[in-house]
Amino acid sequence: MIFVAAGWPGDANGCLWGNDKASPQGAAAFNPPSAHASAAIKRAYEALTKQVARDNTCYCEAFSVPDAALGKPGVRQKVNSWFNLYSIGTSLIVAFGVYSSRQDGETKLIGSTNSWMPDVYIFAALFLGLGSMWFHASMKEWAGMTDTASMYTFMGFLVFFTIRRLWDNAWLFWIGYLLTIAVFTIVGEIISSASPGAPVSEVLIVILVAIYFVFESILWSNDGGDAWYVNWWNHIWFGGSNVSWRWWVAVVCILAAMFFWTYSQTGKFMCSPTSFFQPHGLLWHPLAGLCALFIYFYWKYDAA
């Protein structure tokens, strides 16, 4: 709220210029011409702002390009920003669940009194929304890093918490988890700078999802008295003896979220820049939060 009131520091995010390219003129080009400027200068300024407003790839919702470029006070994309507050609710539900488990003497790792891991997941569920909120509110380059870092923080937890359920090694969790967040964030920024417009964060997230599923599958394969493939099938098949509907709800939520994320991008059929109905903010963000919530319920009630 300090930045909303006082202004946003830092360089404008590359999405303003379309395909994450740098502005050839720089942010100074968006300083409004003086009242005494010639008609040609005023027309050029108006043409520039209209072009950037049309060509930007900042997730559809209309905003003031000059305000974003110059870091003026205020919230750039109001729907995409404020609907990230869902994460306060989802993280509070997880926090109350962890508190309840600890009061009851829960032995499962996600509710253990002997580990900070449950507390870290509460933070990951909260940061998943707030990291994105700072980006959509500011349209700044550093906030773009918090946006992607929030996704790596969440997905990295899924990977290393699952590994921790396989192997009782707390050091592996903490070192691997923190290194993954740092490496994926830094490498993602380096590759994005070298290849503007490339789907870098999407590819890195898919890699983390694949790694998570491999380790979850190992857990499922070892959970049961049958052959490993039968045990695995009993966990993933809807009619299986060990299938978790909570896990599947999380999967459906994130798949639906990805659908709305993809087709509400600038230029896609769900994009209407001036409409209140912004699927990116209204659907992608809350559905990602529901995924985080039901993954927690899966660990709390169903996971071995």
10 versus 157: the higher-pLDDT residue is 157
Over 90: is that where the pLDDT of 241 sits? no
User: Which DSSP letter does residue 29 get?
Assistant: G
In order of 56, 149, 289, the CA distances from 216 in angstroms are 39, 23, 20
Average pLDDT of the chain is 87
Give the per-residue pLDDT at 89. Answer: 96
What b-and-e string marks burial along 157-186, b requiring 16 or more CB atoms within 10 Å of the CB? Answer: bbbbbbbbbeeeeeeebeebbeebbeebbe
For residue 140, the cross-strand partners are: 12
Give the per-residue pLDDT at 65. Answer: 80
Over 90: is that where the pLDDT of 249 sits? yes
In order of 47, 124, 163, 203, 223, the CA distances from 212 in angstroms are 47, 16, 8, 14, 17
pLDDT band at 266 (very low <50, low <70, confident <90, very high): confident
Rounded to 5 degrees, φ, ψ at 60 are 75, -55
Q: Residue 46 is which amino acid?
A: E
Decide: helix, strand or coil at residue 219: helix
Over 80: is that where the pLDDT of 5 sits? no
**Residues in Cβ contact with 30 at an 8 Å cutoff, skipping those fewer than 6 apart:** 48, 49, 65, 66, 69, 70
Q: What is the largest CA-CA distance in the chain?
A: 83
Over 80: is that where the pLDDT of 261 sits? yes
Give the per-residue pLDDT at 56. Answer: 74
Residue with tokens 């994105």: 132
CATH 1.25.40 describes domain 78-302? no
The pLDDT tens digits for 40-63 are 766 776 776 666 666 678 888 988
> How far is residue 120's CA from residue 128's CA, in Å, rounded to a whole number?
12
pTM for the whole structure:
0.88
Measuring CA to CA, which residue among 229, 212, 102, 226 is closest to residue 166? Answer: 212
The pLDDT tens digits for 112-136 are 888 999 999 999 999 999 999 999 9
36 versus 134: the higher-pLDDT residue is 134
pLDDT band at 20 (very low <50, low <70, confident <90, very high): very low
Give the per-residue pLDDT at 18. Answer: 67
Top mean pLDDT of 8-12, 169-173, 272-276 is at: 169-173
Six-digit token string for 296: 């927690």
266 versus 211: the higher-pLDDT residue is 211
pLDDT band at 197 (very low <50, low <70, confident <90, very high): confident
Give the per-residue pLDDT at 225. Answer: 84
Measuring CA to CA, which residue among 209, 186, 214 is closest to residue 258? Answer: 209
DSSP string, 42-108: HHHHHHHHHHHHHH--SSS----HHHHHHT-SS-SSHHHHHGGGHHHHHHHHHHHHHHHHHHTT--S
Over 80: is that where the pLDDT of 88 sits? yes
Percent pLDDT > 90 in the chain is 55
> How far is residue 218's CA from residue 220's CA, in Å, rounded to a whole number?
5
Domain ranges for the chain: 2-70, 78-302
Measured between its terminal Cα atoms, the distance across the chain in Å is 42
> How far is residue 66's CA from residue 27's CA, in Å, rounded to a whole number?
8
User: Which DSSP letter does residue 239 get?
Assistant: T
